[in-house]
Structures are given as C-alpha cells and as structure tokens.
Amino acid sequence: MGLLSIIKVKGHMVSMAGNYLLNIGPMADGMIVPVFEERLRDLGGWLGINGEAIYATKLWRIQTENSTVTVWYTAKNNTVHAIILDWPSKQILQLTASRMTGATKVTLMDYPDVPLKWEPLTPAAGLRILMPAMPKSLGNAWCLELEGVV
C-alpha cells in the first residue's frame, strides 16, 4: 500500500469518525522493513503539514463529495477541512457542499499564508476554487482549510 492509498483510507476513516490502524510491525530482529519505514516517514511528513485536518477533528455536516475529484471533509472548531485525493486536472476545484459567508477564506495547508482565489459556484452554495499548479509527479493527498463556510 503506497502513501496515497494510506491517505485515502485515513481521510475516509477520519471523515466517518473512525480510527485508522496501520499494521506495520518489526521483524524478528526488531528492525522495520525499509519499505515500511519509508511509508511511515512519508505519512509522518504528510501529517506534519496536514495534521490539523486529522487530529482532534469531528464529523462535518457532509462527509464526502464526489463532484470533479474525491473530497472528504472534517471539521475542527469553526474550520472545515477538505481532504482532496485527486488533483483537479484543470486546476479548478468545485465544492458543492460548502456555503460561503462574508468571511470565507480558502488556503492550501501546504501554503497557509497564501489564500486561494475562489468564487461562488451558485448564489446559494458552493465554491469554485482556483488551485495552484502542481507537478503531476506529486502523487499525494492535499488539504484545504475552509474558514467562514457553513
């Protein structure tokens, strides 16, 4: 199971209020197989950036959204996190479940100081978000922090 598969399962489990068990044990001599060590380090690196979307989160009013990409939602305090499992091919991400307010702000957790441009999808609900260009070689999952959405 590669890192993307681990994150897909983890995002699904967390957004459904579940726990995630990663079954990696040491060999008889106490060593961790190098491929498992690599995956654990990758997962730790991902959580270092996106852990706010996982740790101490709870269910949001919607768990998943399958419009143009696979998206799982978690919530913490007044912030909603959208865990994106497939980068949008044309850099436009549409989220139909979110309802914006006058205080809506969207950031990619990899770059928290750079708000993303967005516009309403419809007058009543939804966001159309302009995502930054990302290299195709980065097979990962990404998290958006959505502030001021209901």
pLDDT on residue 89: 78
What is the domain range of residue 94? 1-150
pLDDT in tens, 95-136: 998 888 889 999 999 888 899 999 998 888 899 999 988 755
CA distance 71 to 86: 8
CATH number at residue 33: 2.60.40.1180
> What is the SS3 assignment for 7?
helix
pLDDT on residue 98: 86
Written as one string, the DSSP assignment of 134-149 is --TT----EEEEEEEE
Rounded to two decimals, what is the model's pTM?
0.82
pLDDT on residue 1: 46
CA distance 41 to 149: 33
Alpha helices in 16-139 (DSSP H): 34-50
pLDDT in tens, 21-58: 677 888 999 999 998 888 888 888 888 999 999 888 88
pLDDT on residue 137: 46
pLDDT > 70? residue 15: no
**Contact predicate 128/94, CB 8 Å:** yes
pLDDT on residue 122: 87
Into how many domains does the chain fold? 1
Name which residue leads in pLDDT, 38 or 10: 38
pLDDT on residue 127: 93
Pairing of strands 118-120, 111-115: unpaired
